[in-house]
Amino acid sequence: MSRHFLALMIVLLLAPLAKAAKPNVVLIMADDQTWEDSGAYGSPNAITPNIDKLAAQGMRFTHCFTATAMCAPTRQQLYTGLFPVRNGAYPNHSKVHPGTKSLVHHFRKLGYRVGLSGKKHFGPADSFPFEGVNGRQMAQFINRDKTQPYFLVITSNSPHLPWSAGDASKFDANKLKLAPYIVDTPRTREVLTKYYAEINDFDREVGQAMKLVDQSGQADNTIFIYTSEQGAQIPRCKWTCYDTGLRTALIIRWPKQVKPGSVSDAMVQYVDIVPTLIDAAEGNPMEFDTGRSGGDARIPGEPDMSKAKRPHSSFDGRSFLAVLTGKADRHWHMVYGVHTTRGIIAGSESYPIRSIRSHTHKLIWNIKHDQPFKNIVTHGRDKTFYWHTWLAKAETDATARRFVDGYQRRPQFELYDLRKDKYELKNLANAPAMKDIKDDLFEQLQAFMKQQGDKGHATEMKAGERQGRNRDKKNKSNKTDKSNKKNAAKLK
Ligand SMILES: [Ca+2]
Q: How far is the CA of 117 from the centre of ligand 1 (A)?
A: 16
pLDDT value at position 23? 98
- Where is 354: in which H helix or E strand? strand 353-357
DSSP notation for 275-287: HHHHHHTT--GGG
140-173 pLDDT tens trace:
999 999 999 999 999 999 999 899 999 999 999 9
294: domain CATH number? Answer: 3.40.720.10
396 with 461, same domain: the answer is yes
Q: How far is the CA of 16 from the centre of ligand 1 (A)?
A: 42
Phi and psi angles of residue 275, each rounded to the nearest 5 degrees, phi first: -55, -35
CB 265 within 8 A of CB 245: no
pLDDT value at position 4? 67
- Identify which has the larger pLDDT, 92 or 305: 92
pLDDT value at position 480? 37
324 with 419, same domain: the answer is no
Q: How far is the CA of 24 from the centre of ligand 1 (A)?
A: 25
Last residue of a domain, one of 333, 357, 381: 333
Say if 9 falls within a structural domain: no
pLDDT (mean) for 114-137: 96
pLDDT value at position 115? 98
267 with 391, same domain: the answer is no
d(Cα 383, Cα 360) in Å, to the nearest integer?
A: 39
Say if 403 falls within a structural domain: yes
Q: How far is the CA of 487 from the centre of ligand 1 (A)?
A: 17
Q: How far is the CA of 121 from the centre of ligand 1 (A)?
A: 9
Q: How far is the CA of 243 from the centre of ligand 1 (A)?
A: 15
Task: Estimate the crossing angle of helix 186-215 against helix 49-57, to 10 degrees.
Answer: 50
33-64 pLDDT tens trace:
999 999 999 999 999 999 999 999 999 999 99
pLDDT value at position 11? 54
pLDDT value at position 313? 77
Q: How far is the CA of 344 from the centre of ligand 1 (A)?
A: 13
**Range in 96-105, 137-146, 354-363, 468-477 the model is least confident about:** 468-477
Asked whether the predicted pLDDT for residue 180 surpasses 90, the reply is: yes
Q: How far is the CA of 231 from the centre of ligand 1 (A)?
A: 8
CA 137 to chain centre: 26
- Helical spans, DSSP H, in 216-361: 243-246, 270-280, 321-324
259 with 361, same domain: the answer is no
pLDDT (mean) for 445-464: 96
Say if 286 falls within a structural domain: yes
Q: How far is the CA of 230 from the centre of ligand 1 (A)?
A: 6
Asked whether the predicted pLDDT for residue 190 surpasses 70, the reply is: yes
Asked whether the predicted pLDDT for residue 308 surpasses 70, the reply is: no
271: confidence class by pLDDT, cuts 50, 70, 90:
very high
d(Cα 188, Cα 174) in Å, to the nearest integer?
A: 11
Asked whether the predicted pLDDT for residue 491 surpasses 90, the reply is: no
pLDDT value at position 5? 61
Q: How far is the CA of 108 from the centre of ligand 1 (A)?
A: 26
Q: How far is the CA of 176 from the centre of ligand 1 (A)?
A: 23
Q: What are 438-447's contacts with CB under 8 Å, separation 24+?
A: 438/363, 438/413, 441/356, 441/358, 441/361, 441/363, 441/415, 442/356, 442/363, 442/365, 442/413, 444/300, 444/301, 444/334, 444/356, 445/336, 445/354, 445/355, 445/356, 445/363, 445/365, 447/299, 447/300
Cα Rg of the chain, angstroms:
23
324 with 344, same domain: the answer is no
66 with 142, same domain: the answer is yes
Q: How far is the CA of 45 from the centre of ligand 1 (A)?
A: 21
466-488 pLDDT tens trace:
997 545 555 544 443 333 333 33
Q: How far is the CA of 71 from the centre of ligand 1 (A)?
A: 4
CA 201 to chain centre: 19
**Range in 266-275, 287-296, 309-318, 358-367 the model is least confident about:** 309-318
Asked whether the predicted pLDDT for residue 3 surpasses 60, the reply is: yes
Which structural domain range is residue 252 located in?
22-333
Cis, peptide link before residue 352, omega less than 30° from 0: no
Pairing of strands 335-339, 268-269: unpaired
56-87 pLDDT tens trace:
999 999 999 999 999 999 999 999 999 999 99
Asked whether the predicted pLDDT for residue 492 surpasses 80, the reply is: no
Q: How far is the CA of 258 from the centre of ligand 1 (A)?
A: 28
Q: How far is the CA of 122 from the centre of ligand 1 (A)?
A: 12
Three-state SS string over 109-156 comes to HCCCEEEEEECCCCCCHHHCCCEECCHHHHHHHHHCCCCCCEEEEEEC
293 with 353, same domain: the answer is no
Q: How far is the CA of 161 from the centre of ligand 1 (A)?
A: 9
Number of domains present in the structure of the chain: 2
Say if 361 falls within a structural domain: yes
Q: How far is the CA of 48 from the centre of ligand 1 (A)?
A: 19
pLDDT value at position 191? 95
293: confidence class by pLDDT, cuts 50, 70, 90:
confident
Asked whether the predicted pLDDT for residue 188 surpasses 70, the reply is: yes
44 SS3 class: coil
Say if 147 falls within a structural domain: yes
342 with 426, same domain: the answer is yes
- Residues with Cβ within 8 Å of residue 312, at least 6 apart in sequence: 286, 287
Report CA dihedral (142, 143, 148, 149) to the nearest 10 degrees.
30
- Identify which has the larger pLDDT, 77 or 384: 77
Least Cα distance to 104 among 155, 150, 68, 139 occurs for 150
Least Cα distance to 334 among 242, 417, 444, 420 occurs for 444
Q: How far is the CA of 61 from the centre of ligand 1 (A)?
A: 20
pLDDT value at position 312? 63
Question: Among residues of the chain, what percentage have pLDDT more than 90?
Answer: 84
329 with 459, same domain: the answer is no
Q: How far is the CA of 182 from the centre of ligand 1 (A)?
A: 19
Size (the chain), residues: 492
Question: Among residues of the chain, what percentage have pLDDT more than 70?
Answer: 88
276: confidence class by pLDDT, cuts 50, 70, 90:
very high
Q: How far is the CA of 295 from the centre of ligand 1 (A)?
A: 27
347 with 289, same domain: the answer is no
CA 123 to chain centre: 17
pLDDT value at position 298? 86
Say if 144 falls within a structural domain: yes
Q: How far is the CA of 155 from the centre of ligand 1 (A)?
A: 10
DSSP notation for 56-110: HHSEEEEEEE-S-SSHHHHHHHHHHSS-HHHHS--STTB-PPTT---HHHHHHHT
277-289 pLDDT tens trace:
999 999 999 899 9
**Range in 9-18, 138-147, 179-188, 356-365 the model is least confident about:** 9-18
250-263 pLDDT tens trace:
999 999 999 999 99
Question: Residue type for 142, please?
Answer: I
Q: How far is the CA of 308 from the centre of ligand 1 (A)?
A: 36
Q: How far is the CA of 240 from the centre of ligand 1 (A)?
A: 13
d(Cα 47, Cα 172) in Å, to the nearest integer?
A: 12
Give me the chain's average pLDDT, please.
91
Q: How far is the CA of 33 from the centre of ligand 1 (A)?
A: 8
Q: How far is the CA of 339 from the centre of ligand 1 (A)?
A: 14
CB 336 within 8 A of CB 364: no
Last residue of a domain, one of 294, 311, 333: 333
Asked whether the predicted pLDDT for residue 301 surpasses 60, the reply is: yes
CB 228 within 8 A of CB 31: no
Q: How far is the CA of 73 from the centre of ligand 1 (A)?
A: 9
Q: How far is the CA of 229 from the centre of ligand 1 (A)?
A: 6
- DSSP bridge pairs for 364: 355, 414
Q: How far is the CA of 180 from the centre of ligand 1 (A)?
A: 22
Sign of the CA dihedral running 233, 67, 127, 219: negative
For the chain, the maximum distance between any two Cα atoms, rounded to a whole number of angstroms, is 91
Q: How far is the CA of 438 from the centre of ligand 1 (A)?
A: 30
- Residues with Cβ within 8 Å of residue 490, at least 6 apart in sequence: 345
Last residue of a domain, one of 279, 314, 333: 333
Q: How far is the CA of 116 from the centre of ligand 1 (A)?
A: 16
Q: How far is the CA of 304 from the centre of ligand 1 (A)?
A: 31
Q: How far is the CA of 330 from the centre of ligand 1 (A)?
A: 28
CB 170 within 8 A of CB 200: yes
Q: What angle do CA 450, 470, 482 make, to 5 degrees?
A: 110
Q: How far is the CA of 262 from the centre of ligand 1 (A)?
A: 27
Half-sphere exposure of 107 (CA within 13 A, CB side): 33
Q: How far is the CA of 32 from the centre of ligand 1 (A)?
A: 4
d(Cα 462, Cα 317) in Å, to the nearest integer?
A: 25
